Amino acid sequence: MDIEKVDQIIDKHNGEPSNLLQIMLDIQSENNWLSKQALARVSEKLSVPLTRIQHIATFYKAFSLVPKGRHKVHICVGTACHVRGATRILDTVEDATGIKPGETDLDLKFSLETVNCLGCCALGPVMEVDGKVHGKMSPVKTAQALKTYE
Amino acid sequence: MGDIQFEIDGQTVTADSGMTVLEAAQKEGIYIPTLCHHEKLEPFGGCRLCIVEVEDRGWTKYVVSCVFPAAKDIIVRTRSEKVDRLRKTIIELLMAHAPDAPDLMKLAKEYNADPNRYERDASFCIHCGLCVRYCAEVAGKNALGFVDRGINKEISFVPEIAAQVCNDCKECFPLCPTSYLQAAFVYTQALSFPDAVKTGQSAGK
């Protein structure tokens, strides 16, 4: 992510230190992660110490300090999905992408996470990709669904 | 001055508005054990050791005196059976993190605390925040801060800033009750600016 883009986001929030969290969220959603350069720039422009930004960036799970893939895959492993075979879905995704939960593949295509409940237990087992819910998954359907993402 | 009058351990004390119970006690020379308190820094309430019993209009409650504002006609007891028991548990919990800290060992003896009561999880840091707050509030350098949260919370130097300023400052070093800070600094130094160790100078650009 280039510095100009960071500057644009900061300007959009009038360079107010009290908008720090919102600025960080915007950079996160624009870039999928918070690079050191971007955070250093935010610190400089808002005159907020880097230590505080670091504290916030590590505090909230919404932020990532390592690059994330273009598509965020969430596999529900809550009780209902677990009972309906979420582990087999997770295994399929792990095989298809070559990554484990919490990891990102080398081409930055997928990031895989497990989540505890997506709130639609009747659709279990559930896989969510970029906010889109794929319900009643089977290993075959999962592999096919993943193929549609570029 | 001294517009608030109240009682600590049977002694009548006065405090200005905005003062905490701990400050009022220290002004009168009444001892309350603390680990995260520092007169130059804002109250933090991190170590919980300064817990005292406060009786306010007949109700008794237990508060941390370093963040509890002094109020009119309250009755503070710095030692009681329950206060001692609470402090003993706090010391035991802190010692699960830093079993060899001299300050804690002294307190453990006084309060008869068992250092091995809780399973050891020796992170050596008790999160008193003295170093982090001193660096931000007094030194104004912000070379280190807290990262992560909950059980994973720890102190962390920003290597770029630490390389520039820490070797000439180190004012936070004597504040640390457990010596973990010094270890964290040596670790950062070895990883990020090892040249400063060889020449004994800060690795300035």
pTM, 2 dp: 0.81
In a domain, B100, yes or no: no
In a domain, A125, yes or no: yes
- Confidence grade of residue B144 (pLDDT, cut at 50, 70, 90): very high
Residue B163 structural domain: 130-199
Instruction: Count structural domains, chain B.
Output: 2
Q: Residue B40's pLDDT is what?
A: 93
3 state DSSP class of B114: coil
Same-domain pairing of B13 and B72: yes
Q: Which among A149, A54, A47 has a CA at the least distance from the CA of A96?
A: A149
CB atoms closer than 10 angstroms to residue A115: 14
Nearest Cα to Cα of residue B50 among B24, B73, B74: B24
- Same domain, yes or no, for A142 and A78? yes
Q: Which domain holds residue A21?
A: 3-59
Q: How far is CA A43 from the centre of its chain?
A: 23
CATH number of B45's domain:
3.10.20.740
For residue B129, name the pLDDT band (cuts at 50, 70, 90).
Answer: very high
Q: Report how many Cβ contacts below 8 Å link chain A to chain B.
A: 30
Query: Which carries the bigger pLDDT value, residue B183 or residue B198?
Result: B183
Across residues B173-189, what is the average pLDDT?
92
Q: Does A55 touch chain B (CB under 8 A)?
A: yes
| A40-90 pLDDT, tens digit each | 999 999 999 999 999 999 999 889 999 988 899 999 999 999 999 999 999
Q: Are residues A42 and A10 located together in one domain of the fold?
A: yes
Using alpha carbons, select from A28, A83, A84 the residue that is nearest to residue A61.
A28
Interval A118-148: pLDDT, tens: 999 999 899 999 889 999 999 999 999 999 9
Choose the final residue of a domain: B79, B94, B109: B79
Residues of chain B neighbouring A52 (CB-CB closer than 8 A): 142, 145
Instruction: Judge: A51–B144 Cβ closer than 8 Å, yes or no.
Output: yes
The Cα of A50 is separated from the nearest Cα of chain B by a number of Å equal to 8
> Which among B44, B39, B154, B36 has a CA at the least distance from the CA of B103?
B36
Count of other CB atoms within 10 angstroms of residue A51: 24
Residue B11 has what pLDDT? 92
- The CA angle A118-A119-A121, to the nearest 5 degrees, is 100
Q: Do A51 and B148 touch (CB under 8 A)?
A: no
Question: What separation in angstroms does the CA of B181 have from each of A94, B44, B138, B188?
Answer: 40, 18, 17, 11
Residues A3-50 have pLDDT tens digits of 889 999 999 999 899 999 999 999 998 888 999 999 999 999 999 999
In-domain check, residue B69: yes
The DSSP code sequence of A80-146 is: HHHHTTHHHHHHHHHHHH---TT-B-TTS-EEEEEES--S-GGG-S-EEETTEEE-S--HHHHHHHH
Say if the Cβ atoms of B158 and A54 lie within 8 Å. Answer: yes
Within a domain: B70: yes
The arithmetic mean of pLDDT across residues B50-57, rounded, is: 95
Report yes or no on B121 lying in a domain. no
B116 falls within a domain = no
Name which of A45, A83, A36 is nearest A63 in CA terms: A36
Sign (positive or negative) of CA dihedral B184, B190, B192, B194: positive
Instruction: Tell me if B90 is assigned to some domain.
Output: no
Residue-level pLDDT at A128: 92
DSSP string, B8-55: ETTEEEEE-TT-BHHHHHHHTT-----SS--TTS-----S-TTEEEEE
Q: What is the ipTM of this complex?
A: 0.80
Residue B112's Cβ-side half-sphere holds a number of Cα atoms within 13 Å equal to: 4
Q: Give residue B192's pLDDT.
A: 87
Contact by Cβ (8 Å): B52, B83: yes
Q: Which residues of B touch A65 (CB under 8 A)?
A: none
Taking a C-beta distance cutoff of 8 angstroms, is the pair B60, B54 a contact? yes
